[in-house]
Amino acid sequence: MVMAQHCYASAPVVDGLPLLDAPGFWAAHLADLSEGIPAEAFGVDAADAGEALEQLHDREAWPLFTVPLAGGFTMLVHYNSGEEHTCTDYFLTHPHWPASRAALVLTSDDQDRIGPGLCWPELAALLTPPAEADGVNDPHARLLLLLPVLGDADAPPEALALVTEALVAHGAPPDCEPLARRLLEGHPMWGATTWTYDVDERSWLCDGEHSPRRTPLGEHLPAVQRMALEAVLAGRTPEIRA
């Protein structure tokens, strides 16, 4: 499993949560997945989408979005803007993991091209937030924020319905199903691929060329931590032991 090698200790990281309410945010965040589709499909104008994109790509302030999960797990969505371009990394982490294994990289759209990182059953299991947790808790926002991690060619019809519902909840017009369908085609760097569930490994495996999920997720972790990871991605509350 690919481990986080990025170091943000000296980077200008800022809390991205306030940006979720900015006009044009979702058109900007999902710009790669919706390439060629006008911002108006999201219910906003191009100027608002452009302004939101500038905020996401600000070299002086790198937005970090925290998506709390059950059992203390967290999904981190991190924009980082270097000298040449901005990339977005998606990490899965837990405070009990040792520093050397602090985060699993699920996707990254930098030059290394890592993804997809989740299949639909896993993403669907992450939409309900734990009680009294700080971060992105609205299920619709969680779905749209994590969509770039998804790449599942066999996503069920309910996926289209849920993405459409989330878009409408955040300002898109009611007839936005074509946009939702496009978003489910996956990130252009890796697209939608096939997943199979390995019963012996108790893990979903991806056949995507660039996916870190070609091997079981967290296979390097101690057994008890890996069991907790499996539980949270299946929608169960994991038993956490230090």
**What's the CA dihedral at 101, 102, 105, 110 to 10 degrees?**
-110
d(CA 175, CA 208): 31
* Predicted pLDDT of residue 214: 96
pLDDT given at position 71: 92
Compute the distance between CA of residue 237 and CA of residue 165 in angstroms, rounded to an integer: 26
What is the predicted pLDDT for the residue at 220?
84
pTM of this prediction exceeds 0.85: yes
Closest of 120, 105, 127 to residue 152, by C-alpha: 120
Do the bridges between strand 74-81 and strand 86-93 make them parallel or antiparallel, or are there none, so unpaired? antiparallel
Q: What is the DSSP letter of 110?
A: S
Token reading at 39:
């911002």
Q: What percent of the chain has pLDDT over 70?
A: 92
What pLDDT shows up at residue 223? 87
Which whole number is the average pLDDT over 163-170?
98
Longest dimension (CA), the chain: 51
Beta bridge partners of 114: 108
Residue identified by tokens 């600000």 is 58
> Which tokens hold the place of 222?
């101690």
DSSP bridge pairs for 104: 3, 92
In contact, 160 and 184? CB cutoff 8 Å: yes
- Distance between CA atoms of 110 and 112, rounded to whole angstroms? 5
| CA atoms of 67 and 142, how far apart (whole Å) | 7
